[in-house]
Structure 1
């Protein structure tokens, strides 16, 4: 594989350890009523418009920013392994489109180690997304998830 198309060069990753058992973290990721409570950066309100949690199923969320502007995040589930991983396509219009997101879960006693990968089509697009605030934005989302799990 050439280094130009190597997925590791096109992937941004965040890792967290949640002080919650894997079953609870999984439920937060897979149940519409829970997703609406934490998905999106701080200050955003999320409404689940569609959530067909199965391989090939679609998800679609509307997120309202504090200034009243709204944007849509949506995708299709590619792979689901219970209590292990959720992989889907994702578009966060108009900021990010055509990415794959990977949520990886690993039990650690009563805690859950969580890895989030966002795979971009090109290395250039990946770098652009990082500069646009990937780590701050998603970091804020996972802070909200951590608070929700508490």
Structure 2
């Protein structure tokens, strides 16, 4: 049975080269990769090559919960697209489209079965909006 796909997107007021760097560089990832102010991303790793690993540690700031989001890069098309294959077999593909000095970022990912689709969409959208806010500072 094919899993349901969810799409989130935003437009960032920065050129695609800068957005790509912010999305793929561990120092940047650790500054935006969380859905709300009560969470943080204390560390991130990105071996930016097909077959390379991606890992982001996500934690509640009060220490009550945390987890590692781990995946492998399946596709890398510089400044255009990347696909992550998650440990549970799901995939997430992000595309970057230049728009007159801005960049439209769209991520489509396979939903997981544990949480409601709306909750997953809202969480991934919040992370993407946090990325937009970080890149526009």
**TMscore range, shorter length:** 0.7 to 0.9
**What corresponds to 1:87 in structure 2?**
83
* Distance in 2 (alpha carbons) for counterparts of 1:47 and 1:11: 28
* Distance in 1 (alpha carbons) for counterparts of 2:42 and 2:56: 6
Q: Taking structure 2 as the reference length, what is the TM-score of the superposition?
A: 0.87
CA-based RMSD of the aligned residues comes to 2.0
Within the candidate set 38, 55, 62, 1:60 is matched to 55
Within the candidate set 130, 133, 143, 2:117 is matched to 130
Within the candidate set 67, 74, 95, 1:104 is matched to 95
The structure having more radius of gyration, on CA atoms, is 1
Within the candidate set 16, 41, 44, 2:39 is matched to 44
Deviates more, 1:49-58 or 1:108-117: 49-58
- The aligned length equals 134
Q: Taking structure 1 as the reference length, what is the TM-score of the superposition?
A: 0.80
**What corresponds to 2:28 in structure 1?**
34
CA deviations over 1:30-55 (Å, ceiling 9, x no partner): 11100000012112111335321110
Structure 1 runs not aligned, ≥5 long: 92-96
Within the candidate set 105, 127, 131, 1:114 is matched to 105
Runs (4+) off by over 4 Å? none
**What corresponds to 1:94 in structure 2?**
none
Q: Which has the higher helix share?
A: 1
**What corresponds to 2:5 in structure 1?**
11
Say whether residues 1:76 and 2:72 are aligned partners.
yes
